[in-house]
Structure 1
Amino acid sequence: MDGLRERKKSQTRRVIAEAALRLFRARGFDTVTVDEVAQAAQVSKKTVFNYFPTKEDLLFPRADRREELLVEALAAVGPQLSLVESFRQLCLRQIRAVERLRHEVEQGEQSVFEMVHRHPALRRKLHENDARLTRRVAEGLAELSGRPVEDPVVVTVSETLLAAQQSLYRNLRARVAAGGSDEEIAADYRDDVHRLFDLLAHGLDAEDAFAPSPDAGTGEEGLRTLTAECRAYGRSSSVRRGC
């Protein structure tokens, strides 16, 4: 019975989120009301708020699932699986999002990413979600290590792990937008994941931690490439995270 109840709740949540997204894309986030979302989803306004506490939450229906996956990654850590390897596996599984990302990219200006970019309230909600997830990871790390949740090591590691997941997702979306076959995107993405988590596993003092990549060039050319990439990252990082 509990399984059936959970499936019904998940279906209701999905129906509400899909109805909201259709309306937002058709008419814009600002002009659509929660009453209209409830009507389109054929539920009460109270039901909408039971699943999504604010209107902004309607555009982030996977936030709770993201938290569940992070908790599962932390719970998997043990004698047979390190923290870095557990999160490596979590990020490798993000490749499953390619089909959904292709659909989002096709929406152009009406994609969730662009809507978040245009609306300060949605950007704030994104930052709130990220802060909540980082705190949740920090709590898990504190429990694993026996350190206080405010310990600088706990804080830094939790922020690093979340940043790794977000930057990889953002780069996956960029690869999808650039085109290419699923096989090519998957191979490049897996390489990104392994390069990043090898660095986390071996530390910043590893000899090749910041060796020039084959595409970066050397000397001033490599520095110019790295600088351009950092500037591009800075412009997009606040609004191109995994939603």
Structure 2
Amino acid sequence: MSGLRERKKERTRQTLSEVAIALFLEKGFDAVSVAEVAAAAEVSKPTLFRYFPAKEDLVLHRFADHEDEPARVVAAAREAGVPPLTALRDHVLAGLERRDPVTGLNDAPQVLAFLRLLHGTPSLVARMQAFQARSEGVLAAALEGTPEGMPEGTDAEIPLRARLAAAQIVVVLRVLADENIRRITAGEPVDAVLPGAVEATREAFRGLAEGLPY
């Protein structure tokens, strides 16, 4: 029964996010109130806030599954005996091949519209920075094989080398995606961007491998 409740909650969360993003794309993020989103989704404001504590979360919900994605890749690599950086590189390359929007290599109109909304709204950009900071934290723990579920505020317990490595990896992933987005929004076809994106990924991870102990 609890599984059914969780699935219903996730469907509601997804619906609220989709309704909100449609309104934000139509009118602009700052021009749409939370009350307007709630009315369009036919829920009360308190109900909406139970699912999304902040207006920005309605947009960044799409990234929820990606926050700890690098950490999950590293954890799986550790179990398989694969070097973390090798696993992360191959994960990015696979994402490029399937045109995963997270890699920036996707020119679907709805994806490009969403990216313009995200990068063109200062409050969303700031929220993304917090997202990346959390991603760094869980990745640092995964690099060191630290058990999941560490209490917040325990970053100091993770070696500095792991925190530095995680910060560099997250920045590399962001810059690679941003470069793909830049080229595609400038009008280059995805198939023309792909070869350079693959080479840039390989080169970036070669550089990481030369300087990081992972």
Q: Percent identity?
A: 28
**Bigger Cα displacement from structure 2, 192-201 vs 68-77:** 68-77
Q: What are structure 1's unaligned runs of at least 5 residues?
A: 205-243
Distance 1:74 1:175, change over 3 A: same
Partner of 2:139: 137
The question of whether the paired residues in 2 share the 8 Å contact of 1:139 and 1:149 is answered with no
Q: 1:37, CA displacement in angstroms?
A: 0.8
Counterpart mapping for 1:224-243 below 5 A: none
Task: Work out whether residues 20 and 37 of structure 2, in 8 Å CA contact, stay in contact via their aligned partners in 1.
Answer: yes
The answer to whether the aligner puts 1:115 opposite 2:115 as a matched pair is no
Aligned counterpart, 1:96: 100
Aligned mates of 1:201, 1:122 — CA distance in 2: 32
**SS of the residue aligned with 1:84?**
helix
2:47 aligns to what SS in structure 1?
Answer: helix
CA 1:10–1:175 in 2, change beyond 3 Å: closer, same or farther?
Answer: farther
Return the match for 1:166 from 174, 197, 201.
Answer: 174
Higher relative contact order (CA 8 A, sep 6+): 2
Give the aligned CA root-mean-square deviation in angstroms.
2.9
**Structure-1 residue corresponding to 2:46:** 46
Hey, what does 1:236 align to over in structure 2? none
**Structure 1 residue 55 displacement after superposition:** 0.7
1:182 aligns with 2:187: no
Map 1:51-90 → 2, pairs under 5 A: 51-78=51-78, 80-90=81-91
CA contact (8 A) 2:139 2:166 kept: yes
Change (3 A) 1:8 1:171: farther
- Kindly provide the amino acid, as one letter, of the partner of residue 103 in structure 1: Q
Structure 2, unaligned runs of 5 or more: 148-154
TM-score by length of 1: 0.69
Compared CA separation, residues 102 and 91, structure 1 to 2 (3 A): farther
Q: Distance in 1 between matches of 2:4 and 2:200?
A: 39
CA contact (8 A) 1:104 1:112 kept: no
User: What TM-score, normalized to structure 2?
Assistant: 0.77
Shift in Å at residue 83 of structure 1? Answer: 0.8
Partner Cα separation in structure 2 for residue 100 and residue 34 of structure 1: 29
Using the TM superposition, give the Cα deviation of residue 99 of structure 1 relative to its aligned residue in structure 2, in angstroms: 3.6
Q: Secondary structure at the match of 1:143?
A: coil
Structure number with bigger Rg: 1
Is contact 1:52–1:58 with CA below 8 Å preserved after alignment? yes
